[in-house]
A and B are shown apart, each in its own frame.
Chain A
């Protein structure tokens, strides 16, 4: 079965640079979520989109922005990167109209290292 695809899998950036993370949800899933997991931490919700509109917002810094496109893929844009942004970034998707609407399926994550 198709899974959530994230790219790139690994990313190394310098402080104050920008980064763009991409997420391709499971086909026919209409909702995308972004989470940040620091080293040894639990995942923290950043932002979500349903049918290309922002549906919920968590602890996402103002330096970060995200959107969902017409093909349902999503991008997380991170500017003025700081050392503390080094983390594993997960994308998850769900189908709000399906039988498993309560379940989020996670991608493998993008590991971002800021030097």
Chain B
């Protein structure tokens, strides 16, 4: 079945460091790909998405590119801030003709950014 494999955490960085969180997927067809962020004690917020190959999603300085050839959707940010400390989930949605199906999540990567 469909699955998402995420880089194991936790990840600890200093402020202004470069961030990469790896994400690869297994799916039939062409799923949509997402990054969701969960701040401590809060719900899931959509960070960015890409719906087809070579699409780049971006938001708040974060970027991820849908790479069909490597089945990857790695999350990057050039300069992290303390406020970026959160758990990041990579997810896929196996789109059917009817629209969005259930999301399949990776295990999550906890990021801590120190001042």
Closest Cβ of chain A to B32, distance in Å, is 4
Q: Is the CB–CB distance between A90 and B99 below 8 Å?
A: no
Chain A residues within an 8 Å CB radius of B103: 33, 35, 43, 45, 92, 104
Q: Is the CB–CB distance between A104 and B43 below 8 Å?
A: no
Q: Number of residue pairs across A and B with beta carbons under 8 Å?
A: 66
In-complex Cβ contact of A90 among B32, B43, B93, B100 (8 A): B43
Q: Which bracket fits the contact residues of A?
A: 20 to 34
Closest Cβ of chain A to B104, distance in Å, is 8
Closest Cβ of chain B to A40, distance in Å, is 8
Q: Is the CB–CB distance between B43 and A106 below 8 Å?
A: yes
Q: Is the CB–CB distance between A106 and B95 below 8 Å?
A: no
Q: Is the CB–CB distance between A108 and B43 below 8 Å?
A: yes
Q: Give complex CA distance A23, B113 in Å.
A: 33
Given contacts A33-B102, A102-B95, contact A109 B49 (CB under 8 A): no
Known pairs A50-B99, A56-B102. 6 more at Cβ < 8 A? Answer: A33-B103, A44-B105, A45-B103, A101-B100, A103-B32, A107-B43
